[in-house]
Chain A
Amino acid sequence: KQEVTQIPAALSVPEGENLVLNCSFTDSAIYNLQWFRQDPGKGLTSLLLIQSSQREQTSGRLNASLDKSSGRSTLYIAASQPGDSATYLCAVRTNAGKSTFGDGTTLTVKP
């Protein structure tokens, strides 16, 4: 059974810092890995999708990497801003119709 772990559970940084969020998974037979952002009481917004054949994806200040063999993905946020404060979830898709989510990392960026 696929298990997804996100570390740390919570992170607080001053504005302007670069930071890394981690996601690890136990079954490397994945189709893709997706990073989401969730604001309190809201749905999920897709940030980046990495296919199993890719190593990384970039969007603006965000960069996500994928190392299937070691079962790890990282989300790098450059020059963090208070508006980046949210919970970040990673999800791996391992078979048709099902994705497994981590518990998320709650990020607080202080002005």
Chain B
Amino acid sequence: DGGITQSPKYLFRKEGQNVTLSCEQNLNHDAMYWYRQDPGQGLRLIYYSQIVNDFQKGDIAEGYSVSREKKESFPLTVTSAQKNPTAFYLCASTPKGALWKNTEAFFGQGTRLTVV
């Protein structure tokens, strides 16, 4: 079955360390996104990528980095520069083409990152 897979489900990091969250999709979608969700709040866009080897900053990109070397993969690195990294991270994707903005977004099950 097609879908988006995020791993790991839970992640613990010590302060000062970088950590990378995985997001893989086999939906053949061109566009992929990373969101952050804090308790009781909606989602805020960190980075997004419309095609391979291209990505743009979202609303809260500081302290994060991404790469898009393959169509199916969009890993997110939470760097030590991110001041408040403990949160729930969600990856999403949408199909390709000029009409992609009119299509549904599909989400992974999320990764809960805790800084200890």
Chain B CB within 8 A of A81 CB: no
Tell me which residues across on chain B come within 8 A of A4, comparing CB atoms.
42
Given contacts A42-B109, A44-B107, A96 and B42 within 8 Å (CB-CB): no
User: Could you count the A-B residue pairs with CB atoms below 8 Å apart for me: how many are there?
Assistant: 65
Chain B CB within 8 A of A46 CB: yes
* Complex contact A46–B106 (CB within 8 A): yes
Q: Mark B94-116, 1 if CB is under 8 A from A, else 0.
A: 00000001111111111010000
Interface residues of A (CB under 8 A from B): 4, 6, 9, 31-32, 34, 36, 41-46, 49, 51-52, 89, 91, 93, 95-99, 101-104
Interface residues of B (CB under 8 A from A): 6, 31, 33, 35, 40-45, 48, 50, 56, 58, 88, 90, 92, 101-110, 112
What are 24 contact pairs spanning A and B, CB under 8 A?
A: A4-B42, A6-B42, A32-B102, A34-B104, A34-B105, A41-B112, A42-B109, A42-B110, A43-B108, A44-B43, A44-B107, A45-B107, A46-B105, A89-B43, A91-B105, A93-B101, A97-B31, A97-B50, A98-B45, A98-B48, A101-B42, A101-B43, A101-B44, A104-B40
